[in-house]
Amino acid sequence: MSGPRILRCHVGVGPVAEGEALVTDDNFSARYDLDRLQGIFSRPQHKLHGQSYVGKVLVVNTAKGGVASAWMLHEMAARGMAPVAILFNRFNPILAQGAALADLAICDRFADGDITRLIETGEQVKVEPAVGLVTVG
């Protein structure tokens, strides 16, 4: 594809953020899926098992698991061990609440459909939650 692609989504939470995409059609829970000290996916069944999410624009399907992610995003960000942004097809309240405390960019509900198929791992992504805009490439 040539030139940057513009993807529109619902107004999200958090500041403008930029980084390299890490994409999966799997889901996300900070408690269930991550080794937060090492900054990698640790649940054996997760499709990103063993991969580092630190500094990435993580692109996933939906939010899973419990309420702990709300504190955990803040704790991860404070240590510099968080993704710079997370894009979902649909997030849940916990991820929105956690992103608000952590000052982490998150967005969901993309106009063009399944976000996990609209971005590829390794692409450069800019996320603007306040206006619901994601620029790829």
Between 32 and 135, whose beta carbon lies closer to other proteins?
32
Residues of this chain that interact with other proteins (CB under 8 A) are 10-13, 31-35, 42-46, 62-72, 74-75, 77-79, 90-94, 96-98, 100-101
**Shortest distance, position 86 Cβ to other proteins, whole Å:** 13
Between 70 and 84, whose beta carbon lies closer to other proteins?
70
User: To which residue do tokens 């999966």 refer?
Assistant: 24
Q: What element of type H or E holds 21?
A: strand 17-23
**Shortest distance, position 2 Cβ to other proteins, whole Å:** 33
CA proximity to 30, closest of 58, 59, 56, 64: 64
Between 79 and 124, whose beta carbon lies closer to other proteins?
79
**Shortest distance, position 17 Cβ to other proteins, whole Å:** 15
CA proximity to 99, closest of 135, 73, 78, 129: 73
Between 19 and 65, whose beta carbon lies closer to other proteins?
65
**Amino acid symbol at 41:** F
Distance between start and end Cα atoms, the chain: 9
